[in-house]
Amino acid sequence: MIRLNRFLTWLFAMSVYGLKILNDSYYPDLRRIVDEIVKIVPKEKIQLIHTDEWTSSELSRLREKHELTGAYPKDIERLCCKNLVAQIAEDAKIPHAKTVFLDFRQPINRKEFLNRIILEITKFPMFVKPNRMCGSAGIAKIANMEVLEKWLTERFQEEIPGEYVIQEFIEGEEFGVTVVLLPDGTWKPLIVDFLAGTTYQEAILKGEPLFMAALEFGKAVNGSFPNLREFTQKVIDAFRPQHPQIFCIQAFQELINTS
């Protein structure tokens, strides 16, 4: 019930208050509960665990406020801000979608934005996404120049400007890897999931059914994902997530039988 209430709170904030970034999410009841817990329980015995991305920012702030173990805001940002994710992947030579960061809060003209996008992404279709959001909220598929210009015009007219990224469209199979990050710095694989016949974006934008399948990690490595262990290790090394926690990686496989 608690998780359901948090989800409904997030939906209410999105629809009524125009939440554009998860950093703005705020849970007064959760804050009051944690404030009371730290008064009666030793800090070394408290672990705040977020089971969904919607509460990750708020819980990271509470950990930092009370000096609890776990991920702080700076740790969350590099994993969740899409412009930072793209830069970290670039520095680590991890293949990733071409990405242009658009900050509509800064003074920049429409033509300059358009030129940057065309120069760096080069071709249609493209995807636009809020820079710090989850669950495919706020995404849009940009099919051509007319749609891109219309989308830019709408963003410049917004009462509350936000941050977005625009990325190249990647053909391939979308998959996810879930692992357990252990206290000693190592990790153990849990499961590999993938979609059959569609993507999250297409399912949300077009209302298509979303079919998911899953494999044990070992079977995935011995089957269609032979380089998955090396890929997973490279991502963990590059992004340096906090241990211990459940860590999920989302990616695309452009060619069959590769990572």
* Model pLDDT for residues 170-203, shown as the tens digit of each residue: 877 889 999 999 989 999 999 999 877 666 666 6
Q: Mean pLDDT of all residues in the chain?
A: 83
Distance of alpha carbon 46 from alpha carbon 70, whole angstroms: 10
Same domain, 113 and 126: yes
pLDDT of residue 83: 94
Q: Partners of 195 in the beta sheet?
A: 212
Q: Which has more confidence, 154 or 6?
A: 154
pLDDT of residue 2: 33
Same domain, 140 and 205: no
Q: Is residue 10 part of a domain?
A: no
pLDDT of residue 117: 92
pLDDT of residue 174: 83
Q: 121, 144, 168: which is the final residue of a domain?
A: 168
115-170 pLDDT, tens digit per residue, is 899 999 989 999 999 988 765 667 888 999 999 999 999 988 888 888 999 999 88
Same domain, 150 and 98: yes
Look at residue 10 and tell me whether its pLDDT is greater than 90. Answer: no
Q: Is residue 2 part of a domain?
A: no
Other CB atoms within a 10 A radius of the CB of residue 88 amount to 18
Same domain, 194 and 225: yes
Q: Is residue 7 part of a domain?
A: no
Q: Is residue 164 part of a domain?
A: yes
* Residue 127 · residue 100 · CB < 8 Å: no
Binning pLDDT at 50, 70 and 90, where does residue 1 land?
Answer: very low
80-124 pLDDT, tens digit per residue, is 889 999 999 999 999 999 999 999 988 878 888 898 999 999 899
Q: Is residue 223 part of a domain?
A: yes
Q: Is residue 87 part of a domain?
A: no
Q: Is residue 177 part of a domain?
A: yes
Find, among 143, 98, 91, 138, the residue nearest to 116 by Cα.
98
Name the residue range of residue 26's domain.
Answer: 22-78
Token pair of 178 as six digits: 């879930």
Q: What is the mean pLDDT of residues 217-236?
A: 94
Same domain, 194 and 123: no
pLDDT of residue 23: 64
Same domain, 136 and 184: no
Same domain, 246 and 212: yes
Same domain, 181 and 237: yes
Same domain, 246 and 197: yes
Token pair of 100 as six digits: 């242009």
CATH number, domain with residue 127: 3.30.1490.20
Domain count, the chain: 3
Same domain, 201 and 127: no
46-81 pLDDT, tens digit per residue, is 988 776 677 788 889 999 999 998 889 888 888 888
Q: 168, 184, 211: which is the final residue of a domain?
A: 168
Same domain, 192 and 230: yes
DSSP-based three-state secondary structure for 127 = strand
pLDDT of residue 140: 85
Same domain, 152 and 193: no
Q: 168, 198, 219: which is the final residue of a domain?
A: 168
Q: Is residue 136 part of a domain?
A: yes
pLDDT of residue 99: 95
